[in-house]
Amino acid sequence: MWNSDLRIEFIVPKRGRGDEDVFKIAPLSIRAESLRFVDILLLNPVYIKVQGVKVLVPSPESFCLHKFAILNRRQKIDKRTKDLEQAVYTYRISDKNKLLKMFHGLLRPWQKTLIENLNHYIDLSPLLREEIREIIDTLQNAMNKTK
């Protein structure tokens, strides 16, 4: 749904290979796109007030982890770069204890995907390379502790 002032995209978590790409919500006359890793955005959401209206949004920690997870799903290099940079900048302001707790709660294959994506795309943003390396080390250590 969109107009000149607002665009709203409806998305739902994709559960498996057999899921439809578009999920119809007939009572609301809308269609929601089914996407992988959306579950991460739903972990520990936070309320913010926008012009007096309370809005539920992903926490910085879940936003960051989600961006790391979807890096390899972006077709265009500029979108990958933007996602990587947004994730690193969000990582800087996130609560590291909350982020690691959320990371521990992810499925093991998802944890591996996050780390593999970071390793694979570390050179997308050369100015952030050292910071990305630290994030990889932090997540890798966290994953190794839960074996």
The domain ranges of the chain are 59-145
Q: How many CB atoms lie within 10 A of CB 120?
A: 12
DSSP assignment of 128-139 equals GHHHHHHHHHHH
Report d(CA 86, CA 80) in Å as an integer. 10
Q: Report pTM.
A: 0.84
pLDDT of 96: 95
User: What phi and psi values does residue 86 have, to the nearest 5 degrees?
Assistant: -60, -40
pLDDT of 18: 60
pLDDT of 111: 95
**pLDDT tens, position by position, for the chain (147 residues)?**
667 888 888 888 777 666 667 778 888 888 888 788 888 998 889 999 989 999 999 999 999 999 999 998 888 999 999 999 999 999 999 999 999 999 999 999 999 999 999 999 998 889 999 999 999 999 999 988 876
